[in-house]
Protein backbone atom coordinates (compact mmCIF):
# COMPACT_ATOMS: atom_id res chain seq x y z
CA UNK A 1 0.00 0.00 0.00
CA UNK A 2 0.95 3.65 -0.28
CA UNK A 3 3.38 4.89 2.32
CA UNK A 4 1.81 7.09 4.97
CA UNK A 5 2.23 10.80 4.24
CA UNK A 6 2.75 10.33 0.51
CA UNK A 7 1.57 13.50 -1.26
CA UNK A 8 0.29 14.78 -4.58
CA UNK A 9 -1.22 18.09 -5.70
CA UNK A 10 -3.97 19.13 -8.11
CA UNK A 11 -5.11 22.49 -9.52
CA UNK A 12 -8.90 22.81 -9.54
CA UNK A 13 -10.29 23.46 -13.04
CA UNK A 14 -14.13 23.63 -13.10
CA UNK A 15 -14.46 22.20 -16.60
CA UNK A 16 -12.43 19.12 -15.69
CA UNK A 17 -12.68 18.70 -11.92
CA UNK A 18 -16.25 19.43 -10.84
CA UNK A 19 -17.74 15.93 -11.17
CA UNK A 20 -14.55 13.91 -10.76
CA UNK A 21 -10.85 14.42 -10.09
CA UNK A 22 -8.08 12.44 -11.78
CA UNK A 23 -5.38 11.18 -9.44
CA UNK A 24 -1.87 11.54 -10.92
CA UNK A 25 -0.80 8.33 -12.71
CA UNK A 26 2.52 8.34 -10.88
CA UNK A 27 0.65 8.15 -7.58
CA UNK A 28 -1.35 5.08 -8.68
CA UNK A 29 1.89 3.07 -8.77
CA UNK A 30 2.24 3.64 -5.03
CA UNK A 31 -0.78 1.41 -4.36
CA UNK A 32 1.11 -1.64 -5.66
CA UNK A 33 -1.97 -2.96 -7.47
CA UNK A 34 -4.33 -2.76 -4.46
CA UNK A 35 -6.51 0.27 -5.12
CA UNK A 36 -9.28 0.99 -2.56
CA UNK A 37 -12.78 1.45 -3.99
CA UNK A 38 -13.80 3.95 -1.31
CA UNK A 39 -11.87 6.69 0.41
CA UNK A 40 -12.29 9.32 3.09
CA UNK A 41 -11.11 12.86 2.35
CA UNK A 42 -10.62 15.23 5.29
CA UNK A 43 -10.00 18.96 4.85
CA UNK A 44 -7.97 21.20 7.14
CA UNK A 45 -11.18 22.04 9.02
CA UNK A 46 -11.34 18.35 10.09
CA UNK A 47 -14.55 17.71 8.12
CA UNK A 48 -14.76 14.41 6.24
CA UNK A 49 -16.32 13.21 2.97
CA UNK A 50 -16.78 9.68 1.65
CA UNK A 51 -15.64 9.53 -1.97
CA UNK A 52 -15.47 6.53 -4.30
CA UNK A 53 -12.30 5.80 -6.27
CA UNK A 54 -12.76 4.22 -9.71
CA UNK A 55 -10.47 3.18 -12.55
CA UNK A 56 -11.51 4.46 -15.99
CA UNK A 57 -9.19 2.92 -18.52
CA UNK A 58 -5.71 3.52 -17.13
CA UNK A 59 -6.77 6.51 -15.03
CA UNK A 60 -7.89 6.58 -11.38
CA UNK A 61 -10.54 9.12 -10.32
CA UNK A 62 -12.29 10.41 -7.24
CA UNK A 63 -15.91 10.16 -8.42
CA UNK A 64 -19.14 9.60 -6.42
CA UNK A 65 -18.99 12.02 -3.51
CA UNK A 66 -16.40 14.30 -5.13
CA UNK A 67 -19.03 16.77 -6.40
CA UNK A 68 -20.26 17.27 -2.84
CA UNK A 69 -16.69 17.86 -1.66
CA UNK A 70 -16.31 20.54 -4.36
CA UNK A 71 -19.52 22.30 -3.34
CA UNK A 72 -18.97 22.11 0.42
CA UNK A 73 -15.48 23.59 0.07
CA UNK A 74 -16.54 26.23 -2.51
CA UNK A 75 -13.69 25.28 -4.82
CA UNK A 76 -12.92 27.90 -7.44
CA UNK A 77 -10.87 28.08 -10.62
CA UNK A 78 -7.17 27.92 -9.78
CA UNK A 79 -7.49 26.61 -6.23
CA UNK A 80 -4.46 24.52 -5.28
CA UNK A 81 -5.13 21.25 -3.44
CA UNK A 82 -2.40 19.28 -1.66
CA UNK A 83 -3.39 15.69 -0.79
CA UNK A 84 -1.60 13.56 1.80
CA UNK A 85 -2.32 9.84 2.12
CA UNK A 86 -2.42 8.39 5.64
CA UNK A 87 -3.31 4.78 4.97
CA UNK A 88 -6.64 2.95 5.40
CA UNK A 89 -8.04 4.80 2.35
CA UNK A 90 -7.79 8.16 4.13
CA UNK A 91 -6.62 11.37 2.46
CA UNK A 92 -5.97 14.72 4.12
CA UNK A 93 -6.19 17.81 1.89
CA UNK A 94 -5.11 21.41 2.31
CA UNK A 95 -6.82 23.93 0.01
CA UNK A 96 -5.03 27.09 -1.05
CA UNK A 97 -6.76 29.92 -2.90
CA UNK A 98 -5.42 31.95 -5.80
CA UNK A 99 -3.93 34.34 -3.24
CA UNK A 100 -1.58 31.57 -2.16
CA UNK A 101 -3.12 31.49 1.32
CA UNK A 102 -4.94 28.63 2.98
CA UNK A 103 -8.68 28.98 2.31
CA UNK A 104 -11.29 29.28 5.03
CA UNK A 105 -13.37 26.13 5.37
CA UNK A 106 -16.54 25.33 7.33
CA UNK A 107 -15.86 23.72 10.70
CA UNK A 108 -19.06 21.98 11.84
CA UNK A 109 -19.34 21.54 15.61
CA UNK A 110 -21.99 18.85 15.53
CA UNK A 111 -23.93 20.76 18.22
CA UNK A 112 -25.78 23.30 16.12
CA UNK A 113 -28.00 23.04 13.08
CA UNK A 114 -27.88 25.54 10.26
CA UNK A 115 -31.29 26.96 9.45
CA UNK A 116 -32.39 26.49 5.87
CA UNK A 117 -35.23 28.67 4.68
CA UNK A 118 -37.45 28.14 1.67
CA UNK A 119 -39.60 30.78 -0.01
CA UNK A 120 -42.20 29.49 -2.49
CA UNK A 121 -44.03 32.73 -3.09
CA UNK A 122 -43.35 36.35 -2.33
CA UNK A 123 -45.91 36.52 0.47
CA UNK A 124 -45.58 32.99 1.86
CA UNK A 125 -44.30 32.34 5.37
CA UNK A 126 -40.85 30.78 5.45
CA UNK A 127 -39.99 28.33 8.21
CA UNK A 128 -36.76 26.95 9.67
CA UNK A 129 -36.36 23.30 8.83
CA UNK A 130 -37.13 20.79 11.58
CA UNK A 131 -34.59 18.15 10.61
CA UNK A 132 -31.52 17.93 12.80
CA UNK A 133 -29.33 16.85 9.91
CA UNK A 134 -27.13 19.66 8.64
CA UNK A 135 -28.29 21.17 5.37
CA UNK A 136 -31.46 19.04 4.88
CA UNK A 137 -34.33 21.09 3.49
CA UNK A 138 -37.93 21.10 4.61
CA UNK A 139 -40.24 19.24 2.25
CA UNK A 140 -41.63 21.06 -0.76
CA UNK A 141 -45.24 20.22 -1.50
CA UNK A 142 -45.43 21.60 -5.02
CA UNK A 143 -44.86 19.06 -7.75
CA UNK A 144 -42.24 21.14 -9.52
CA UNK A 145 -38.99 19.75 -10.92
CA UNK A 146 -36.69 22.59 -9.87
CA UNK A 147 -38.18 22.80 -6.39
CA UNK A 148 -38.00 19.06 -5.88
CA UNK A 149 -34.39 19.06 -7.04
CA UNK A 150 -33.58 21.89 -4.62
CA UNK A 151 -34.71 19.80 -1.63
CA UNK A 152 -31.63 17.63 -2.15
CA UNK A 153 -29.30 20.56 -1.59
CA UNK A 154 -26.93 20.13 1.36
CA UNK A 155 -24.41 22.55 2.83
CA UNK A 156 -22.44 23.22 6.00
CA UNK A 157 -23.06 26.95 5.51
CA UNK A 158 -26.25 28.82 6.47
CA UNK A 159 -28.42 28.99 3.35
CA UNK A 160 -31.85 29.85 2.01
CA UNK A 161 -33.72 29.19 -1.20
CA UNK A 162 -35.79 31.51 -3.36
CA UNK A 163 -38.17 30.46 -6.15
CA UNK A 164 -37.81 33.10 -8.85
CA UNK A 165 -41.06 34.95 -9.57
CA UNK A 166 -41.63 37.00 -12.72
CA UNK A 167 -40.89 40.21 -10.80
CA UNK A 168 -37.42 38.86 -9.88
CA UNK A 169 -36.44 37.50 -13.28
CA UNK A 170 -34.32 38.78 -16.14
CA UNK A 171 -37.31 38.49 -18.46
CA UNK A 172 -38.81 41.73 -17.21
CA UNK A 173 -35.61 43.22 -15.82
CA UNK A 174 -36.53 42.61 -12.18
CA UNK A 175 -34.74 45.19 -10.05
CA UNK A 176 -35.01 43.59 -6.58
CA UNK A 177 -35.24 40.30 -4.70
CA UNK A 178 -36.93 39.88 -1.33
CA UNK A 179 -34.85 37.76 1.05
CA UNK A 180 -35.92 36.07 4.31
CA UNK A 181 -35.74 38.68 7.04
CA UNK A 182 -35.12 36.07 9.72
CA UNK A 183 -32.07 34.85 7.82
CA UNK A 184 -30.78 38.41 7.51
CA UNK A 185 -31.37 39.07 11.20
CA UNK A 186 -29.63 35.90 12.37
CA UNK A 187 -26.70 35.61 10.01
CA UNK A 188 -26.01 38.96 8.38
CA UNK A 189 -24.47 41.78 10.37
CA UNK A 190 -26.59 44.88 10.87
CA UNK A 191 -25.40 48.15 9.45
CA UNK A 192 -23.85 46.71 6.30
CA UNK A 193 -25.48 47.66 3.02
CA UNK A 194 -23.42 45.67 0.51
CA UNK A 195 -23.31 42.00 -0.43
CA UNK A 196 -21.56 39.95 -3.10
CA UNK A 197 -23.28 37.21 -5.08
CA UNK A 198 -20.89 34.57 -6.38
CA UNK A 199 -21.54 32.08 -9.21
CA UNK A 200 -18.63 29.92 -10.37
CA UNK A 201 -15.73 32.33 -10.99
CA UNK A 202 -17.84 35.50 -11.34
CA UNK A 203 -19.13 37.93 -8.72
CA UNK A 204 -21.82 40.63 -8.63
CA UNK A 205 -22.03 43.38 -5.99
CA UNK A 206 -25.56 44.13 -4.77
CA UNK A 207 -27.09 46.56 -2.32
CA UNK A 208 -28.99 45.28 0.72
CA UNK A 209 -32.02 47.34 1.74
CA UNK A 210 -33.90 47.02 5.03
CA UNK A 211 -37.39 48.46 5.39
CA UNK A 212 -39.38 49.37 8.51
CA UNK A 213 -41.90 46.63 7.82
CA UNK A 214 -39.19 44.07 8.64
CA UNK A 215 -38.41 43.32 5.04
CA UNK A 216 -34.96 42.76 3.51
CA UNK A 217 -34.14 42.72 -0.18
CA UNK A 218 -31.33 42.83 -2.70
CA UNK A 219 -31.82 46.01 -4.73
CA UNK A 220 -29.23 47.79 -6.87
CA UNK A 221 -27.15 45.16 -8.66
CA UNK A 222 -29.81 42.44 -8.63
CA UNK A 223 -31.02 43.29 -12.15
CA UNK A 224 -27.50 42.78 -13.53
CA UNK A 225 -27.18 39.47 -11.67
CA UNK A 226 -30.54 38.26 -12.98
CA UNK A 227 -29.70 39.29 -16.54
CA UNK A 228 -26.19 37.83 -16.61
CA UNK A 229 -27.48 34.52 -15.23
CA UNK A 230 -30.63 34.57 -17.40
CA UNK A 231 -32.92 33.93 -14.42
CA UNK A 232 -36.45 33.01 -15.38
CA UNK A 233 -39.66 32.47 -13.44
CA UNK A 234 -39.61 29.00 -11.92
CA UNK A 235 -35.86 28.83 -11.39
CA UNK A 236 -34.71 28.20 -7.83
CA UNK A 237 -31.71 30.06 -6.40
CA UNK A 238 -29.89 28.68 -3.36
CA UNK A 239 -27.90 31.30 -1.44
CA UNK A 240 -25.09 30.07 0.84
CA UNK A 241 -23.47 32.58 3.19
CA UNK A 242 -19.85 31.49 2.70
CA UNK A 243 -18.26 34.66 4.14
CA UNK A 244 -20.31 36.24 6.88
CA UNK A 245 -18.12 39.30 7.50
CA UNK A 246 -18.21 40.41 3.87
CA UNK A 247 -21.74 39.22 3.00
CA UNK A 248 -20.48 36.85 0.30
CA UNK A 249 -23.17 34.43 -0.86
CA UNK A 250 -22.49 31.56 -3.22
CA UNK A 251 -25.51 31.11 -5.51
CA UNK A 252 -26.50 27.76 -7.02
CA UNK A 253 -29.21 27.92 -9.69
CA UNK A 254 -31.63 25.07 -10.31
CA UNK A 255 -33.36 25.72 -13.60
CA UNK A 256 -37.13 25.45 -13.80
Residue 151's pLDDT is 63
In a domain, 102, yes or no: no
In a domain, 108, yes or no: no
The CATH number linked to 238 is 2.40.330.10
pTM for this predicted structure: 0.47
Residue 119's pLDDT is 42
Residues 133 and 205 in one domain: yes
In a domain, 22, yes or no: yes
Residues 91 and 147 in one domain: no
Residues 70 and 138 in one domain: no
Is residue 5 within 8 A of residue 92, CB to CB? The reply is no
Residues 60 and 163 in one domain: no
User: End of a domain among 46, 63, 96?
Assistant: 96
Residue 205's pLDDT is 93
Residues 138 and 174 in one domain: yes
Residues 137 and 173 in one domain: yes
Residues 238 and 129 in one domain: yes
In a domain, 234, yes or no: yes
Residues 150 and 83 in one domain: no
Residues 193 and 141 in one domain: yes
Total domains present in the chain: 2
Q: How far apart are CA 243 and CA 223, in angstroms?
A: 22
User: End of a domain among 47, 62, 96?
Assistant: 96
Closest to 117 (Cα-Cα) out of 146, 75, 155: 155
In a domain, 101, yes or no: no
Residues 232 and 168 in one domain: yes
Q: How far apart are CA 152 and CA 238, in angstroms?
A: 11
Q: How far apart are CA 250 and CA 245, in angstroms?
A: 14
User: 182: domain range?
Assistant: 116-254
User: End of a domain among 44, 62, 96?
Assistant: 96
Residue 142's pLDDT is 36
Residues 82 and 158 in one domain: no
Q: How far apart are CA 6 and CA 212, in angstroms?
A: 58
Residues 84 and 24 in one domain: yes
Q: What is the pLDDT along the chain (256 residues), one digit of tens a residue?
A: 444 568 999 999 887 888 899 999 888 887 777 788 889 999 887 888 999 999 988 899 999 999 989 988 888 888 999 999 887 788 999 999 888 888 876 555 443 334 444 443 333 323 333 433 343 332 233 335 555 555 666 677 788 888 887 766 555 555 788 888 888 877 776 667 889 999 988 899 999 888 766 778 888 898 889 889 988 888 888 888 888 778 899 998 888 7
In a domain, 130, yes or no: yes
In a domain, 111, yes or no: no
Burial of residue 128 (number of CB atoms within 10 Å: 0-12, 13-18, 19+)? middle
Amino acid sequence: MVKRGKKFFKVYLPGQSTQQLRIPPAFIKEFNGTIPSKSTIMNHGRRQWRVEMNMVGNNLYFQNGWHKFVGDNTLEYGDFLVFSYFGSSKFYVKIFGKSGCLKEVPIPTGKTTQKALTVFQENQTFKPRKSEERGKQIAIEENDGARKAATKFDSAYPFFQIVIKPSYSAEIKGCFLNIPFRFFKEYMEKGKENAVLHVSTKSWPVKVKIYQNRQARFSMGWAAFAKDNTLKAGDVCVFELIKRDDFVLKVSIVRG
